Amino acid sequence: MHRKLYEVKTLEEAKQLAVAEFGVKESDLTFTIVNEKKGFLGIGSKIEVEAVIDADGITRGKEYIQMILDNNNIQGFIEKKVRGNNVEFNVDAGDFNGYLIGKNSRNLIALQILVSTVVNKYYEGEEEAKIVMVDVGGYRKRREKNLENMAVDFAKQVSRTKQKIQLDYLNAYERKIVHNKLSTWNDVRTYSVGEEPNRFLVIEYKPMTKAPETPKIETPEVQAAETPKPAETPEVIEMAAKENKEE
Helical spans, DSSP H, in the chain: 11-22, 57-71, 97-101, 106-120, 125-128, 139-161, 172-182, 234-246
Q: What mean pLDDT is predicted for residues 229-238?
A: 54
What is the predicted pLDDT for the residue at 38? 79
Contacts of 230-234 spanning 24+ positions with Cβ under 8 A: none
CA angle, 74 then 105 then 70, to 5°: 15
pLDDT of residue 198 exceeding 90, the answer is no
Span 179-187, mean pLDDT?
94
Model pLDDT for residues 98-149, shown as the tens digit of each residue: 999 998 888 998 999 999 999 999 998 888 899 999 999 999 889 999 999 9
Residue 171 has what DSSP assignment?
-
Residue percentage of the chain with pLDDT more than 70: 83
The confidence score (pLDDT) of residue 105 equals 86
* Average pLDDT estimate for 5-15: 91
